[in-house]
Amino acid sequence: MRLPPAILGNAEEVLREILRFTAPADVTLSRYFKDHPRLGGRERGAIAECIYSVLRNKNFYTEFGGFGTGASATMRRLVLLGMADAIGAESLGGLSEDETAFLARIKEIDRSLLPAKNRSNLPDWLYDKFVAQYGEEETLQLAAVLNTPAPLDLRVNTLKTDREKVIAELATAPIVAEPTPYAATGLRVMKKPALQNLPLFKEGAIEVQDEGSQVLAQLLGARRGEMVVDFCAGAGGKTLAIGAIIRSTGRLYAFDVSEKRLTKLKPRLARSGLSNVHPVVIAHERDAKVKRLAGKIDRVLVDAPCSGMGTLRRNPDVKWRQQPEGVAELTEKQASILDAASRLVKFGGRLVYATCSLLDEENEGIAAQFLANHPDFELVPMNKVLAEQRIPLEMGDYLKMLPHKHGTDGFFAAVFERKAADKPAKAAKADDAAADADE
């Protein structure tokens, strides 16, 4: 059954707003759907897929879709191309003969013959950075995967069930799920079913979480009874994963500067069955609430604010909204947050720095700078950490999970440990007193 012609007008309207890049695409889409309650589920799905197709392929669409006269005609053609790629031109109703012929011509283009930069559908500055890091051939492999939708990954809450039971129960829905290759509690669902109404979801037996994100929680190596801090907790996905790992024992702090993000943790926390999580809103990374815990924490995870270039399968608008100047500002913030978080770690404790970025300056660059400025910390080679956690990945000093190699979002992680104390106990107490006075 064809979609009604009016759907193209809806898609044009919301695309025009999204291409201003004043807000994340998913936020703009959600607001638009809320303001247009008469749109059905099928129509909403088609509009969303169209928008994401345009964002993934904007370079190609702009080059071959800009034949109309004026901005309105160009926007119409962008929507036509997005819809055709997302749901098929045959599903569109109300097309003119010219528009049908236009889509047929575009379909005949062999995109593999386009120049490499055009083929990547990346902004020039990002394409150049990737080529400098990975070389042109691997950049094109990476870009090709970044321009496809991500699968749906789930984390099984082992406080309530196990993977095999969840696979069996999902099959009755019917939803096909397979174990992820790296995360011990992960499942991958290739389609994107509605999970909110499933008893498994309502009871907290499953959470939506990318496999790479689950691996980051494992790298912390947290043990039962320990004091742990998720320093940039956001909506708490990794907090919940860590809580399950330590079986709701010890004390787990979820810090974030955004009260709104931490509010999203509350219903998830209620479903999870965890009783050891303490969400804390902080004003900044050097808040007094942070300083009070100086030198007392066994494990600290810093999943730092970053460019998000590793999440382009899910958030393709990020590559157009982010600019090189913004990345430079982020690296300053990342270094400051990591420095502040490191002060929480007790002697012999572990600190994990992570991002969902693919850019060296946000990853290895920050790790190297931290080690240079903090001689009391040492790098723990990632291959050692992965072996310790029985994660079947081959890495060097750092974790680098790449969409085209590992099937996850792009993630980086470095693991540090604070060297054992080598100063007298009186000196250590004086340091604690100075820290308290600094508050």
What is the DSSP track for 269-312?
Answer: HHHHT--SEEEEE-SSTT-HHHHTTTT-EEEEEEE-----GGGT
Give mean pLDDT, residues 5-28.
Answer: 95
> Which residues of 190-296 form beta strands (DSSP E)?
206-208, 227-230, 251-256, 277-281
Cβ(159)–Cβ(131) below 8 Å? no
Q: Is the pLDDT of residue 431 over 70?
A: no
Which residues touch 172 (CB under 8 Å, ≥6 apart)? none
Cβ(355)–Cβ(362) below 8 Å? yes
- State residue 359 phi and psi, 5-degree precision: -95, 130
Task: Please tell me whether 303 is known to bind a ligand.
Answer: yes
Cβ(351)–Cβ(303) below 8 Å? no
Task: Please tell me whether 256 is known to bind a ligand.
Answer: yes
Please choose, from the candidates 254, 208, 265, 192, the residue with its C-alpha nearest in 3D space to the C-alpha of residue 228.
Answer: 254
Q: Is the pLDDT of residue 428 over 80?
A: no
* Percentage above 90 pLDDT, the chain: 88
Q: How confident is the model at residue 320 (pLDDT cuts 50, 70, 90)?
A: very high
Please choose, from the candidates 303, 315, 313, 327, the residue with its C-alpha nearest in 3D space to the C-alpha of residue 126.
Answer: 327
Give mean pLDDT, residues 140-168.
Answer: 96
pLDDT tens readout for residues 59-90? 999 888 765 445 667 899 999 999 999 999 99
> Which residues of 29-185 form beta strands (DSSP E)?
152-156, 178-179
Q: For residue 133, give the H/E element and its range.
A: helix 124-134
pLDDT tens readout for residues 323-336? 999 999 999 999 99
Give mean pLDDT, residues 256-279.
Answer: 96
- What does the pLDDT read at residue 94? 87
Known catalytic residue at 356? yes
